[in-house]
Structure 1
């Protein structure tokens, strides 16, 4: 079956299905389902150009999505991209969709002249780490990821995104 990767904006016909999958992604990480809040948040982030999103579509069904941010790379006087979220519906995993979404972002970042593309994932997420290292991503040494919670919530599981 053919998979098509399409950029998603608030007015795209697949936006609502992508937002529903984004809610499933949040649930996957232990957060409560909140379809309307998720839809509103995603719409606002896309409208304000804080993130970009692309969806993997097969036969009019959204099978996965990826989001990325573009940040200034001040020392390089350019831009750096960061993959924030990559999720594939469990029924469509191990079919190349995550790879296609990842390649879409890599191609888009290169075409835009980004100086680097980075991401973060949990240290025990072996499938994701395998995908990313096969695509050429390498661990960054000499840096520490630091986090200051500004909105502590009791349900916070320690995730930084």
Structure 2
């Protein structure tokens, strides 16, 4: 298993995984739109994507978006996406991707990584807790659909 910083050479693999990820979260499959979305992320350099490669094929990815904390006056990375193909789960790939993201956060001087997942995604929650992530008990997070 090899974890790499994805670039445009990896577009097809990342887009395929991104599409699977969206389907997992109850969205309709649209590989073309997924490829356009990921291509925009590469072109605009507004996210960082790590890709897990097994035998020359992408099998998992994580995508980080930059943010900042005004109160702490520091960089924060939003770990927005994490996905591993069902055929490659329970092999430590998600853990490797998460550890790579954490190392990247440290290397870029971030003060923390933040993430969210569905309340019913207990497998992901167990992984996050095993890696030291803690459920935020301080803040209520709200969203406004536009």
Task: Please state which band the TM-score falls in when normalised by the shorter chain.
Answer: over 0.9
Report the CA distance between 1:36 and its aligned residue. 1.0
1:5 is aligned to 2:18 = no
1:74 is aligned to 2:70 = yes
Distance 1:81 1:26 in 2: 20
| Deviant stretches of 4+, over 6 Å | none
After superposition, the CA RMSD in angstroms is 1.1
SS of the counterpart of 1:113?
Answer: coil
Aligned length: 146
Report the CA distance between 1:122 and its aligned residue. 1.3
How high is the TM-score relative to the length of structure 1? Answer: 0.87
Task: Give 1:36's match in structure 2, choosing from 32, 39, 61.
Answer: 32
Deviations along 1:40-63, whole A, 9 cap, x unmatched? 011102321221111100110111
Is the CA contact 2:11–2:38 (under 8 Å) kept in the aligned structure 1?
Answer: no
Please state which structure has a larger fraction of its residues in helix.
2
Instruction: Report the structure number with the largest CA radius of gyration.
Output: 1
1:89 is aligned to 2:81 = no
Contiguous gaps of at least 5 residues in structure 2: none
Contiguous gaps of at least 5 residues in structure 1: 151-161
Report the CA distance between 1:142 and its aligned residue. 2.2
